[in-house]
Amino acid sequence: MLWTKNCPRCERGDVSLTNDGYGWFVECLQCGFAMDVDRPARAEALLQQINRKHRLAAKAA
């Protein structure tokens, strides 16, 4: 699973869903941003949630 240009940190990065044997996490291929996810099915929703907050914060700043 890969979401292009969806990184909450660098915004242009491609975020991929990975399992390292200990659990699932999403990781930006460009800047190294990483976030644990409890279930792979939740990854996209979490990503969207963070991105929405991030954009609101950027607007307020």
Residues engaged in binding Zn ion (CB under 5 A): 7, 9-10, 13, 28, 30-31, 33
Report whether 17 contacts 24 (CB < 8 A): yes
Q: Which is nearer to Zn ion, 18 or 30 (CB)?
A: 30
Q: Which is nearer to Zn ion, 10 or 40 (CB)?
A: 10
Report whether 29 contacts 14 (CB < 8 A): yes
Report whether 13 contacts 29 (CB < 8 A): yes
Q: Nearest approach, Cβ of 19 to Zn ion (angstroms)?
A: 20
Strand partners, 18: 25
Q: Which is nearer to Zn ion, 25 or 33 (CB)?
A: 33
